[in-house]
């Protein structure tokens, strides 16, 4: 009986933290990078700069970067073609990361978790800022 309980608890833990999505939504920003990398599992990793600044530990201020992974190669190719443009993407956030889904960006994004971009919502030219 206790073995059955341990198996059910383990399966529930794995499902809850690794396969059940924590949130989903969209983010918009200037796409500055989309590349394929990894030692064992080759995944597509991207970075975009969002509007505004955010404070980091110690009182310093950094740009508001969004780090994400892409599983679908077609979406990664499309993102690679729109580098240095304003892109709005849809993502799914998981509580914990799996290595074949992409990198773990805990500490880099505002909220911990693994962000997987599953589609491009909109692409536009970046706004010109006049000084």
Collapsing DSSP states into helix, strand and coil, what is residue 119?
strand
Q: What pLDDT digit, counting tens, does each position of 10-53 carry?
A: 999 999 988 988 899 999 999 998 889 888 888 999 999 888 76
Q: How confident is the model over 64-106, as pLDDT tens digits?
A: 889 999 999 899 999 988 888 899 999 999 988 888 888 877 7
- Is pLDDT above 90 for 55? no
What is the set of domains in the chain, with CATH numbers? Answer: 2-124 (2.40.50)
Contact 90, 25 (CB under 8 A): yes
Contact (Cβ atoms closer than 8 angstroms) between residue 122 and residue 31: no
pTM of the predicted model, to two decimals? 0.79
Which residue, chain included where needed, has tokens 């933290």?
17
């Amino acid at each position: 009986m206790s073995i059955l309980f341990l198996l059910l608890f383990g399966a529930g833990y794995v499902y809850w933290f690794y396969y059940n999505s924590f949130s989903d939504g969209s983010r918009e920003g200037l796409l500055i990078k989309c590349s394929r990398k990894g030692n064992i599992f080759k995944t597509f990793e991207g970075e975009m700069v969002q509007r505004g600044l955010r404070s980091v530990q110690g009182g310093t201020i950094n740009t508001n970067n969004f780090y994400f992974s892409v599983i679908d190669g077609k979406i990664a190719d499309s993102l690679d073609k729109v580098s240095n443009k304003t892109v709005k993407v849809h993502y799914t956030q998981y509580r914990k990361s799996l290595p074949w889904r992409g990198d773990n960006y805990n500490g880099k994004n505002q909220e911990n978790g693994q962000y997987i971009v599953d589609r491009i919502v909109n692409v536009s030219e970046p706004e010109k800022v006049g000084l």
